[in-house]
Amino acid sequence: MTTALLETASSTATTEGGWLLMLVQILPLVLIVVVMYFLLIRPQKKREKEMQKMRNSLQVGDEVTTSGGIIGRVVSLREDTVVIETGSDRSKIRVKRWAIQSNETLHDEEA
């Protein structure tokens, strides 16, 4: 009878230790995922949000640079395209809004 009681007690301890061992093995993986989120994913989403805000706040007359390196002044805005004027001969090019890389014109922030 005491042998059966001892075997039951040892198997219970092994089961509890097994869960603890599994938790200790999984914890580094969870920590790696959390660190990757804060170092890579979150800053990237923040940059994308800022770029979208910049593209939505474009105004006629702004000097912009496209992702292809074309520099020009915004002539007209549409829902998903922008017409820019480039060069001294005033060539006009229509580009997608997502192709605008930066806005060189400084605007006062509205409060």
Q: What pLDDT tens digit does each residue of the chain (111 aa) get?
A: 555 554 554 555 456 678 888 888 999 999 999 999 999 999 999 999 999 999 999 999 999 999 999 999 999 999 999 999 998 898 999 999 999 999 998 776 654
Amino acid at 66: T
Whole-number pLDDT of residue 105: 85
Whole-number pLDDT of residue 18: 84
Please give the DSSP secondary-structure letter assigned to residue 38: I
List Cα–Cα distances, 17 to 6, 9, 21, 106, 107, in angstroms: 16, 12, 6, 62, 62
What is the CATH class of 58-103?
Answer: mainly beta
Query: Are the C-beta atoms of residues 76 and 83 closer than 8 Å to each other?
Result: yes
Q: Would you kindly state where each structural domain of the chain is located, as residue ranges?
A: 1-57, 58-103
pTM: predicted TM-score of the whole model, two decimal places:
0.65
